[in-house]
Chain A
Amino acid sequence: MSTASNMKSLLRGNVRQYGMVIALVTIIVFFQIQTDGVLLRPLNVTNLLTQNAAILILAIGMVMVIIARHIDLSVGSVAAFVGAVAAIMMTKWDMPWPIAVILCLALGAAIGAWHGFWVAYVGIPAFIVTLASMLLFRGLTLVVLDGATVGDLPGGFEAMGNGFLPEVGPDTDLANLTLVIAALLAAFLVFLEFRKRASAIRYNFEVLPLPLFYAKLAAIVAALFWFSYILAQYRGLPIVGLILFVLIGIYSFVMERTVVGRHIYAIGGNVDAATMSGVRTRRIDFLVMTNMGLLSALAGMVTAARLTAANPKAGTNFELDAIAAAFIGGAAVTGGVGTVVGAIIGGFVMGVLNNGMSLMGTSIDWQQAVKGLVLLAAVAFDVWNKKRTSVGGGAGSEDTTTTAPPPNDLVDEIEQASLPGTEQVAKT
């Protein structure tokens, strides 16, 4: 298992998985050096998180839309529109902010359902439907706001965008709660990794060699503690960061562990095969678009809260950043491939690039140009890597005769499993 060639092939197979993490780390190191350490100062890291939270929230929904082989161009406009409606509700109609938030989430879901209706039940490509909405809701935002910026939002609402977790416990100069959360999260992730590995071994699946596995665990824990330590030096975890991490957890769970997640990957991989396997494809399409609307609404409110005002230009180009994040994070244009965590990493790549170049004093025009090239490079790397790792293809790669025995622990269970069609196994 631990021979050098084995190791090499393992690493090669995992380049795609870890490639973006390595890219992100490289970019961080580069800007950390170029900015003389400003990049990773507590205040700047906090800003990095709050400034990009909306994009990252959108990226979660967007990667699901892309996995389901669609696209949503309207998220920026919808975010602006919902942010505007929220501002009007709270300032003009004097609605309590929690109620306004709930109503606006419902509004976002309704807009998403509108898209879902056209995409899933009428059969219009999502590109067209959401392009229409991009124009429609940008226009409606101007109508709702009457072309002006609406500010003076309630404090509780604004905390969604720029508030922090409360101080608890002894006075330590650090934000205690943030460190406690990080510790709990680290323990939980380590537990998950161990469980995953144990089951993979039980099923005779390929696993990382033990030293590499520990290295990976150490890296995860170290990154987490280091990140939380930096945040804790300023004011701790922003509330929007908490929202984001909870969303990442929920949606990763949905995509990896639930039937709905399975079905989203299935319709993206081969919609006809999914249909003929009994997947209710329209329902899934509808759900994915509706969810995107919901997350757009949240992103819109987070943006309004952070800027302490709703303005008609809010959310401009959000859709492009979210789409770029999903693709940089490994999603496939043709659908069926991608992960929530990948999209988040892709979002951070874009965010760090923005932030780092701003700190270096690079002008906005050059920032755009660089981001464009990075997107292209990331996807090109992915395509190149896919070609490189696929062996032969066609008749040459047809099955070898290697057949591993069934997993040891499960032999009895497998033999005793009474499944339809396997009764009275006749050996020929």
Chain B
Amino acid sequence: MKPILEMRSITKAFPGVIALDDVNLTVKTGDIHAICGENGAGKSTLMKVLSGVYPHGSYDGDIVFEGEVVAFKDIRQSESAGIVIIHQELALIPELSIAENIFLGNENASGGVISWDRTNRQAIELLARVGLAENPLTPVMHLGVGKQQLVEIAKALSKEVKLLILDEPTAALNDDDSQHLLGLLKGLQAKGITSIMISHKLNEIEQIADAITILRDGRTIETLAVAEDKVDEDRIIRGMVGRDLEHRFPEHEPEIGGVLLEVRDWSVMHPIDGSRAVIKDVDLTVNRGEIVGIAGLMGAGRTELARSIFGRSYGSHIEGQLILDGKELHLKSVHAAIEAGIAYLTEDRKALGLNLLDDIKRSVTAAGIERLRKGLTVDQREEVVVAERYRSSMNIKTPTVNEGVAKLSGGNQQKVVLSKWMYTDPQVLILDEPTRGIDVGAKYEIYGVIQRLAKQGRGIIVISSELPELLGLCDRIYTLAEGRITGELDRGEADQETLMRYMTTSTHGQEVGR
């Protein structure tokens, strides 16, 4: 098959950094082509070059699309050629309807007047193509992330796309929605649409991709044909990190002690709709030195459970007992929760975890700042010592701790947030998606930190959408479905199938599986 796209020796430099160095990419017509690489390898930059975000002339090398050399000056030009990119952060406007979003910037209008008839009719057709049975007049904010992703694809289809680029399309999706999305990509492939997919989820790549190009440090390492080369996850990882990652999890001998945290009959109502139960009669224990996982599909109430425990930062009418180290706690605020020795690393790093205007040292001490109080002032010398100590012990890669956190990569930002919580010296750490959007190398380091924290006798709760992560890391895993605990599995008895079965159990009148 002829290639639809060839990118030839693309080089792109930023002041002080060469982001892409002689990168070559060839995508065959009708393929699903995956691009893999650690964060900072240059994947997103390459896609920005392709889609005209970085205009022709700001990079070296040629882009050949459908046999012709193209020179896009902006996204509009690449879109009119049939290249559509769907970014990791969705670009939908929450208040507008599905139909309005699909045709935003591309309105069905004559003389500036929109034909809603035609808009809605076409929206229905497009939604049918992506398998989304929703009223096109529904505001996008009422949809879950999975469905929003489908709306984005419908939007791309409305532009008569030939080459669809998806940047981490399943990063925010649960397994069900991910599978649906991947199925949809296969379906589009059958209709002749070529896709480029950037993803950290190697199992998905293995499942769906026809070819894989691996980037490392701004260079093309290799392009693999999945079927011929018998590619598996370990093979991809080897290419990405340039070394064998024998084990994806560091060695760990758990030393589990007595009961540390108990949650009993925990029930939480929806913060606005006080009659809707989000969490129902949850019982949960965490022992000293234990890493406990919580598995659940999107919407099962994982984050809601964690935040309701963390100083009632979510929900209303919270009932139940919270017992830490034998003492019952009545936490009314996040502040009180931190003082009691609970820490919660938020799922959304940029929106809830960091003040992106701040530098590293201030970010590290943001939650434990009371420890730096010296008289009236903040002890700024001690603050540097603290930040430097965590920089070296967490291996945060930065010139100085005076640098802004916004400049760091995802993995390093996450290490900063972890440091912030470590500095509050918590007895219980709740980690909500601790490795989301982080490259393989940094993941490994963060797993090591989590294990180290457990070794010190702290109790750890890990919430994750990636089941292999829970299986590799946790000593015990609870499954959550529709706000109830539906299962509890020890390390030995847990596997993906069992977890998935419990996670999808309908909970009404069901016995807890054990």
Interface residues of A (CB under 8 A from B): 199, 203-206, 257-259, 262-263, 265-266, 269-270, 272-280, 336-337, 391-392, 394-404, 406-407, 410, 413-415, 417, 419-426, 428
Contacts and interface: CB of A to CB of B under 8 A. Distances in A.
Contacts of B346: 273, 276
A265 B39 CA distance: 30
B135 interface: no
Nearest to B426: A420
Interface in B49-95: none
A423 B458 CA distance: 12
B344 A276 contact: yes
B384 A203 contact: yes
Interface residues of B, number: 78
B407 A269 contact: no
A424 B393 CA distance: 10
Given A399-B408, A420-B425, A407 B15 contact: no
B234 to A, nearest CB: 19
6 contacts: A265-B358, A399-B398, A401-B397, A410-B388, A417-B385, A426-B452
B12 interface: yes
Interface in B324-369: 333-335, 337-339, 344, 346, 351-358, 362, 366-367, 369
Contacts of A406: 388, 391-392
A336 B357 contact: yes
A419 B389 contact: yes
B14 A278 contact: no
A276 B313 contact: yes
B420 A278 contact: no
Nearest to A261: B378
Interface in B404-437: 407-409, 412, 419-420, 422-426
A394 B313 contact: no
A421 B416 CA distance: 13
Contact of A422 (B48, B357, B390, B402): B390
Contacts of B393: 421-422, 425
A304 B4 CA distance: 76
A223 B468 CA distance: 65
A399 B412 contact: yes
Contacts of B449: 421
B381 interface: yes
Contacts of B367: 277-278
Contact of A403 (B44, B250, B398): B398
B19 interface: yes
Which of B15, B366, B412 has the largest number of chain A CB atoms within 10 A? B366
Most buried by B among A278, A394, A396, A420: A278
A276 B334 contact: yes
Contact of A280 (B43, B333, B398, B412): B333
A396 B19 contact: yes
A392 B45 CA distance: 10
B237 to A, nearest CB: 16
Contacts of A428: 250, 444-445, 448
B207 interface: no
Nearest to B307: A276
Contacts of B384: 203, 407, 410
8 nearest CB pairs, A to B: A421-B422, A269-B355, A420-B425, A395-B44, A392-B14, A398-B40, A277-B367, A269-B357
A266 B378 CA distance: 14
B293 to A, nearest CB: 20
Interface in B304-338: 310-311, 313, 333-335, 337-338
B113 interface: no
B241 interface: no
Given A269-B358, A420-B422, A421-B452, 16 more contacts: A257-B377, A259-B373, A266-B355, A274-B355, A280-B333, A392-B15, A392-B19, A394-B44, A394-B48, A395-B44, A399-B407, A410-B384, A414-B385, A414-B392, A422-B389, A425-B393
